Amino acid sequence: MTDDSRPRPVFDPDIPGGDRALLAAAPERLVPATLPAPPPPRPGLATIIGRAIWIPLFAFFYGVLPGGWIRVFFLASLDEDDLMDSVFRWGRGAVLAMMITPFFQILLILLGLGEAAALLAAASFTGWAAGAVRHVREPAAARAAREHHGRYLLPGDFDRPAARLLWRAQQAADAVLASEAHAAGLLDDARNEVALPEQEWAIARALAEHTRLRRERAAQRPERLSPRVRALLEPQRRALDLSVRSVTERVEALETYARHAREADDAYHEWQVMRCLPEQNARYRDLLAATVRDDLAREEIERLAADARRARSVLQGTSGLQDTSGFQGTRFPRD
């Protein structure tokens, strides 16, 4: 199976939209449903000690000391291109606090309000410490991949026949959603955007189960079983074949729907062409009128060219007579 016919990951439509976007944006964190769910992160003792040291230093540097200014000037002196990305990595609000807090601390100290300056420093330290703790937590995409494991299916969850059927279903659904008729509202666009993902998920779940059952049957190695045991397994084979045929018919129904959407696109395109015909006919009439004027102009130009040719002939004849008369009465020497 080539990469072009490789199905994309399928997500349960009931997964919240935010988590679904996280999963789609981080496919490297997804784990096939056939494998165990990823365990929650458990940092080791060294990691815990390192964070216990790093987080207070980080919060003190950025929240209490004018460390933000130091970082900005240091980065600016090294590489101007990386300055904005590095400074705004924590968000504009954090950068603004990083810039303003030291100024107000110094101002409060100069005004003799040391307690207020200490409270401001403590609040800033707490805020930056909380932000650092949030930063070192489990990434949101990893959390979503762990919590929703089994509610998304990857290409590794399907064998070749199942992957091929799923790819066909996805191609048909994509064709419907990308059609001009869908964009123009000629189809039931609201229902398509809900029903088609549900159909894709239902088909994917059935195909994943087909894959699991086929792998189980292959692991049983039927060629090594006695005829009596193979006869006992025959109803399972027939049930699987029946289910595969049913899912295949559902995929074919989607492909038929996609074909109807393409036919609707052609009809919609034809309607657009017909709607523009009056205006186009007027432009063609103007073009034809201009062509007639061109023919008349060409005839006029040809008449002028003929007059020019006649004038040239007359001038050439007159010039020849003058040259001949100039030699009259002239004696040429003999050799």
pLDDT tens-digit series, residues 193-246: 999 999 999 999 999 999 999 999 999 898 888 889 989 889 999 999 999 999
Nearest to 157 by CA among 220, 95, 218, 205: 205
Which pLDDT does position 326 carry in this prediction?
A: 45
Q: How many CA atoms lie within 13 A of 173 on its CB side?
A: 23
Determine the average pLDDT of the residues in 137-164.
93
Which pLDDT does position 33 carry in this prediction?
A: 94
Which pLDDT does position 313 carry in this prediction?
A: 78
| Phi-psi region at 43: left, alpha or beta (left = phi > 0; alpha = psi -120 to 50) | beta
The type of residue at 109 is I
* b/e sequence 86-100, b meaning 16+ C-beta within 10 Å: ebeebeeebbebbee
- Least confidently predicted of 84-93, 100-109, 286-295: 84-93
Is pLDDT of 176 > 90? yes
Which pLDDT does position 167 carry in this prediction?
A: 97
pTM of the model: 0.65
Would you call 152 helix, strand, or coil by DSSP? strand
Question: In which band, very low, low, confident or very high, does the pLDDT at 76 lie, cut at 50, 70 and 90?
Answer: very low
Which pLDDT does position 3 carry in this prediction?
A: 63
Is pLDDT of 50 > 90? no
User: Using an 8 Å Cβ cutoff, are 203 and 241 in contact?
Assistant: no
Question: Which range scores top for mean pLDDT: 95-109, 114-128, 287-301?
Answer: 114-128
CA dihedral 221, 224, 227, 229 (to 10 degrees): -60
Q: What percent of the chain stands above pLDDT 70?
A: 82
Determine the average pLDDT of the residues in 54-72.
67
Instruction: Spell out the residues 6+ positions from residue 76 whose beta carbon is closer than 8 angstroms to its own.
Output: 83
Which pLDDT does position 117 carry in this prediction?
A: 80
Is pLDDT of 78 > 70? no
- Least confidently predicted of 6-15, 56-65, 114-123, 256-265: 56-65
Is pLDDT of 15 > 80? yes
CA distance 40 to 31: 13
